[in-house]
Amino acid sequence: TATASSAANSASDAEERVERLGISTLVGDSTETSPYHLGINHTVPASLMPAAARLVKPPQAPPYNLRLKRKPMTSHHTPPTDSPATQTSAEVLDTPATPFMRVIKSYVLRAGRTTTAQAKAYEAFGPRFLLNYAPGAFDAAAAFGRPAPLILEIGFGMGGATAHIAAVRPQDNFLCCEVHEPGVGALLKLAGDQGLENIRILRHDAVEVLDHMLGEASLDGVHIFFPDPWHKSRHHKRRLIQPDFVNRLARHLKPGGYLHLATDWEPYSKQMLDVLNAEPLLQNTAAPDSEGFVPQPAYRPLTKFENRGLKLGHGVWDLVFRRI
């Protein structure tokens, strides 16, 4: 009939257009890949699609707020036998959840660029002053080449104050922990240029050094100058000076050993004072009428940031406690 003849002609015209454009047609349940739809195959039974509509159209992109469901796992992706996917719902519910354990660290790793001079200091002085972190008993006399009082410095920044203290106290050994690479390079340069043989550097977390390298009652002093104050109330839990950490420090001090803290943030200084006063192994060396703080010890120099703060009217608070 005329209608059938017209439909046949339309189908023939469509197939010719498809062939001319290089676009694949879908025949039965098989699919031929076409560059028009970027390799995404669509399978449509020929009986359900008229010949004139066999042009393969590219798939429409879903809207950005559409939440796509994950396809069910097929048989060739069999989960391991001990995975939760193979357990019954009762077994999964009965499995106790592992709590997230927050590990105390003595630092926050900062971004920074190592200068050419610092990189050269690593090469020139690293073998002389850098120590490797190695769990086990730390032999201070072997590391420094002599027996002497051992002072642990936690977080020395760019090392200027550390180098100054080591220079004015040559009778003491200073074990310095810092993870900031440019700061380590800066102190290496200072120690090498000034010939400070009483400095050794561990580029590692001081908490692990205390727990796994230094024994209890092994330190004559600890210095922690200007730790991060974490100004916001919700971040106070990140502050280094906390009761557990102070107790750890106190146990590592010899009787008569000292803990020296300094900060330029008054609210943090008050928290430090409260925490140290609550530690039964420590005793404040401040005068009774000094509100718990001591004058700046002569060996601690003013840093450039401290000088700038003092010019702006900011204060600096030093605390020195001794091990009972």
Active site residue 82: no
Angle, in degrees to the nearest 10, between helices 181-194 and 160-168: 30
Q: 206 burial class (0-12, 13-18, 19+ CB within 10 angstroms)? A: buried
Q: Point out the catalytic residue in the list 172, 220, 228, 318.
A: 228
Cα distance between residue 291 and residue 304, in whole Å: 26
CB 129 within 8 A of CB 205: no
d(CA 241, CA 254): 20
Cβ(153)–Cβ(177) under 8 Å?
A: yes
Bridge partners of residue 174, in order along the sequence? 151, 199
Residue 250 CA, distance from chain mean position = 26
The answer to whether 191 and 204 are in contact (CB under 8 A) is no
Of 178, 183, 180, 240, the C-alpha closest to 205 is 178
Residue 313 contacts by C-beta under 8 Å, 6 or more apart in sequence? none
Helical spans, DSSP H, in the chain: 2-21, 89-94, 116-129, 140-144, 160-168, 181-194, 206-212, 243-252, 266-277, 304-311
Of 201, 193, 188, 180, nearest to 121 (Cα)? 188
Main-chain dihedrals φ then ψ at residue 219, nearest 5 degrees: -110, 145
What type of residue sits at position 115?
Answer: T
Active-site residues: which are they? 228
